[in-house]
Structure 1
Amino acid sequence: MPTDLTPHGRRPRVLHLTQPVDGGVARVVTDLVRAQLADGLDVAAVCPDSPLTTRLRSLGAHLRTWEATRSPGPSLVREVRQLKQLVDELRPDLIHAHSAKAGLAGRLAVRGRIPTVFQPHAWSFEAVGGTTAALALRWERWAARWASRVICVSEAERDTGVGAGIHGRWTVVPNGIDPERFRPAQDTGPVRAQLAARHGMDADAPLVVCVGRLCRQKGQDVLLRAWEAVRRQVPGARLALVGDGPDHDRLRADAPDSVLFTGAVADASPWYQAADLVVLPSRWEGMALAPLEAMACARPVVVTDVDGARESLPAALAARCLVPPEDPRALARTVAALLLDPPLRADLGDRARRHVLSLHDVRHTARAVADVYRDLLGARPATTGARPLLTAEGAEADRTTQRVEHSEHRESIHS
């Protein structure tokens, strides 16, 4: 990105804002910060203290700690007030808010005074139901006026927003991964042997791997309901659930001995490399990273046909590897059929790797996001003072804040 987009040739300062996040969103933010620092931007981040802050600080970003929870609640007013102070201190030229809670607090704190990019990483109103979903949707419709651009990771995610009545200024930037970090093993034998020895598995057993936060969104409970049927057709098969999360204890209590819970891992690539098949039975997504990472390792994936899934697959995998969400029977049939057909798995894995290299390299993603920044910074340079809000806008925003604050929502909004 050119460095002369603000007055006097000063390097633009981009502020990334996140709620407590892990998994895919944390990797997206890390990859963007790394690329933007390499391109000469002055990058800052505001987020709760977490492993993400450690990674971003090691890359050279300016870090400020934001004392925020994962979901809206009684602390929201305090969180918005603190965020306004941090923004005033850091004086960014552009704010990039990631996920629902950060998008909520960030837009309330800034209210259009600074060019603001909002990236939902899947819509919050899909993650909940009833009154909470209606409240989240009403907020997104209202707050769209305070987003200079909404970045969606798939056409389907954008279409969901448009269909829900959100009038945003849209840009679709598909997720990307690092194909050098996620790549096929030269020899899978040693990788499988090492993991088998560490976890007490049979290195020769068919291995299905599911990488993701253990939570309702990712659908591991659906996979466990399908697993008995898979084992009837493929005796000896093992399932590894790689990750941790709020549903760990509940899932483990219902799991048979053939299911391994690895806990959180610093690097999931050995699990992808060792897998015969990777599965992600999500209930909703924007565009999940785990299938892209698995395909970069030349592994076929089975995913549910939710937002972004079809777009993330090459045609050959979309025809064979998409299953309806919440359908353990269809999931079991597809998983078992692929486990019983090694030549087909090899062919689909090769196609998957080529697909990711051509369309989902993280460098493509970083360039596309840089184009969005360039457009916003070029057309609307940073201002030093706040633009006064119309009284009606300010009053409605305050009412929205109070409605969110007093919501009984306690289910985690997607991160």
Structure 2
Amino acid sequence: MLQSASRPGPRVLHLTQPVDGGVARVVQDLARAQLEAGWAVTVACPGGVFATELRTLGADVRPWGATRSPGPSLLREVRECSRVVAQVSPDLVHAHSAKAGLVGRLVVRGRVPTVFQPHAWSFEAVDGATSVLALTWERWAARWASAVVCVSEAERTAGMRAGIDGRWHLLPNGVDPLRCRPAPTDVARADLALLCEVVPTAPIVVCVGRLCRQKGQDLLLEAWDTVVRDVPDARLILVGDGPDRDRLRQRAPETVLFAGAVADAVIWYQAADLVVLPSRWEGMALAPLEAMACGRPVVVTDVGGARESMPPYLARRCVVPPGSPAALAQALTTLLLDPSLRASLGDQGRRHVLSAHDAHRTTAAVTDLYHDLTGPWPAAPAAAAQYREPIHS
């Protein structure tokens, strides 16, 4: 356990609904770094394996039974969050993603420093009246955020163009280069053979992400029909789970394998010849950064911070227009048929992540932001006392 037992540091409460994927990884990296720095870290989340891993690090984990989308459970979620905040009495609250940003800001209402990190804007994920309501809320709630952390310039620009008057901070995502590191493909595939049926010599394309409309696996399957005409022995592995799983399975050919949800995707990157993320929208996805850190070339769609996450040489070759299966198929086919180009792109990607997207740099920048917001520690007693009594929404 990393938590110091001698002198408790400032109390930070992370509030998150996603307990898997990139958001969970970001929260876990922040918790680890802040515990090492002497902060008292609490995470409120729905639970599961994610909660167990956080407790192993030494974080205080409080159950918060939030659902992904707003609905009839919202009032209960606000009450549960209010109880957690009252119990923890945080010096700072960091709300991750749309649901936590909604509930956390409703509960805290700016009475202690509050950081909101959208991890991609909610109003871009929905249509019609729901999108209008989400945007109206974000404009209104910006007053209750001491800082809005965006992981890409594209995400910040989208917020500004939408009329959100935020106190903007640009902190690109990062990954741990020790956890995500290159490994011989044959070794990784030997381990992979224990998890799924794959021919060791077959060209392998891996897509890591929640099986949902945002991540665009349906577009990838449409492109894949073209890819296997030119590379008939290629195999596509979809790593992840989600609401579109059954629908995707129904239309997937035999050359597509479903790995399901995994605790850590590193072995899948290491076993891949090529990694792809055909998203419809993103902030700055972790999967391409993790794949590049593993020395693997990546093809992404030109959404959110995708282009920003790559060096210019890779962006010219590996970023394709969103919503275009034809362009996606062409990029995948070209790289599958050119091993030397894949090796070159993978090496450049690894060096780029080491120089620009190391998680240690990102977590240090977030902790510096916390200190800017909370002021010198120890904090003033008046600020810390605001949550000694329960908050009633």
TM-score (norm 1): 0.89
Conserved 8 A contact 2:89-2:384: no
Partner of 1:375 in structure 2? 372
Alpha-carbon separation, structure 2, partners of 1:194 and 1:289: 23
Alpha carbon RMSD of aligned pairs, Å?
A: 1.4
Question: Residue 307 of structure 2 aligns to a residue in which SS?
Answer: helix
Q: Shift in Å at residue 50 of structure 1?
A: 2.0
Alpha-carbon separation, structure 1, partners of 2:299 and 2:284: 14
Alpha-carbon separation, structure 1, partners of 2:218 and 2:294: 25
Partner of 2:265 in structure 1? 268
Conserved 8 A contact 1:21-1:70: no
2:286 is aligned with 1:289: yes
Alpha-carbon separation, structure 1, partners of 2:309 and 2:260: 26
Partner of 2:105 in structure 1? 107
Partner of 2:168 in structure 1? 170
Q: How does 1:108-127 map to 2 (within 5 A)?
A: 108-127=106-125
Partner of 1:220 in structure 2? 217
Q: Shift in Å at residue 10 of structure 1?
A: 5.9
Partner of 2:235 in structure 1? 238
Q: How does 1:232-381 map to 2 (within 5 A)?
A: 232-378=229-375
- Describe the shift of the 1:224–1:79 C-alpha distance in structure 2 as closer, same or farther (beyond 3 A): same
Question: Residue 71 of structure 2 aligns to a residue in which SS?
Answer: coil
Q: Shift in Å at residue 67 of structure 1?
A: 2.2
Q: How many equivalent pairs are there? A: 378
Instruction: Point out which structure has higher relative CO (alpha carbons under 8 A, 6+ apart).
Output: 1
Alpha-carbon separation, structure 2, partners of 1:81 and 1:236: 54
* 1:257-307 CA distance string (max 9 Å, x none): 000001112221111111111000000100000000000011010000001
Partner of 1:3 in structure 2? none
Alpha-carbon separation, structure 2, partners of 1:267 and 1:82: 30
Alpha-carbon separation, structure 1, partners of 2:18 and 2:345: 36
Percent identity, please: 68
Alpha-carbon separation, structure 2, partners of 1:376 and 1:197: 48
Q: Shift in Å at residue 198 of structure 1?
A: 4.2
Conserved 8 A contact 1:20-1:50: no
* 1:168-212 CA distance string (max 9 Å, x none): 001011101110011010x22122233246422211111111011
Alpha-carbon separation, structure 2, partners of 1:196 and 1:235: 20
The code of the aligned residue for 2:58 comes to G
- Describe the shift of the 1:311–1:88 C-alpha distance in structure 2 as closer, same or farther (beyond 3 A): same
Alpha-carbon separation, structure 2, partners of 1:204 and 1:82: 52
Among candidates 41, 46, 49, match of residue 47 of structure 2: 49
Conserved 8 A contact 1:304-1:323: yes
TM-score (norm 2): 0.94
Gaps of 5+ in 1: 1-8, 387-397, 399-415
Alpha-carbon separation, structure 2, partners of 1:95 and 1:305: 32
- Describe the shift of the 1:342–1:146 C-alpha distance in structure 2 as closer, same or farther (beyond 3 A): same
The code of the aligned residue for 1:323 comes to V
The code of the aligned residue for 2:331 comes to T
- Describe the shift of the 1:193–1:89 C-alpha distance in structure 2 as closer, same or farther (beyond 3 A): closer
